[in-house]
Copies of this chain bind each other. A is one copy, B any other.
Amino acid sequence: MHVLIFGAAGMVGRKLTEHLAHSGRLGGSEVTALTLLDAVPAEKPAGFSGKLATASLDIAEPGAAARALAARPDVVFHLAAIVSGEAEADFDKGYRINLDGTRHILEAIRQEGIKSPYRARLVFASSIAVFGAPFPERIGDEFFNTPLTSYGTQKAMSELLLGDYSRRGFLDGIAIRLPTICIRPGKPNKAASGFFSNILREPLAGQEAVLPVPDTVRHWHASPRAAVGFLTHAATMDLAAMGARRALTMPGLSATVAEQIEALRRAAGEKAVRLIRREPDPVIAKIVEGWPRNFDARRAVQLGFRPDASFDEIVRIHIDEELGGKPPVLR
**Is the Cβ of B142 less than 8 Å from the Cβ of A153?**
no
Give chain A's interface residue range (CB within 8 Å of chain B). Answer: 20 to 34
Which single residue of chain B is at the shortest CB-CB distance from A133?
B244
Give bound CA distance, A91 to B145, whole Å: 25
B167 touches A160 (CB 8 A): no
Which single member of B142, B148, B156, B244 contacts A143 (CB below 8 Å)? B142
Which residues of chain B are within 8 angstroms of A32 by Cβ–Cβ distance?
none
Asked if A161 is at the interface of the complex by the 8 Å CB criterion, the answer is yes
Cross-chain contact of A168 among B91, B156, B167, B245 (Cβ < 8 A): B91
Interface pair B146/A144, CB less than 8 Å apart: no
Note all chain B residues with C-beta closer than 8 A to A146.
163, 244-245
Choose one: B91, B141, B153, B163; the contact of A153 (CB below 8 Å).
B163
Query: Given that A91-B168, A168-B91 are known contacts, is A147 also in contact with B160, CB under 8 Å in the complex?
Result: yes
Q: Known contacts A153-B163, A157-B157, A160-B157: does B143 contact A144 (CB below 8 Å)?
A: yes
A153–B161 touching, CB < 8 Å: yes
CB-nearest residue of chain B relative to A156?
Answer: B160
Contacts of A150 in B (CB 8 A): 164, 168
Q: With the chains together, A233 CA to B156 CA distance in Å?
A: 28
Quick one: given A91-B168, A244-B132, are A153 and B160 in contact (CB under 8 Å)?
Answer: yes
**Chain A 130-145 per-residue mask, 1 if CB under 8 angstroms from chain B, else 0:** 0010000000011111
Closest chain-B Cβ to A146's Cβ sits at a distance in Å of 6
Do A160 and B144 touch (CB < 8 A)? Answer: no
Complex Cα distance, B153 from A142, in Å, reads 17
Q: How far is the CA of A132 from the CA of B160 in the complex (A)?
A: 12
Q: Are B161 and A157 in contact (CB under 8 A)?
A: yes
Contact A147 B161 (CB under 8 A): no
The answer to whether A153 touches B164, judged by C-beta atoms less than 8 angstroms apart, is: yes
User: What are 20 A-B pairs with beta-carbon distances under 8 A?
Assistant: A91-B168, A132-B244, A141-B144, A144-B145, A145-B145, A145-B160, A146-B163, A146-B244, A147-B163, A148-B167, A150-B164, A150-B168, A153-B160, A153-B161, A153-B163, A153-B164, A156-B160, A157-B157, A157-B161, A160-B160
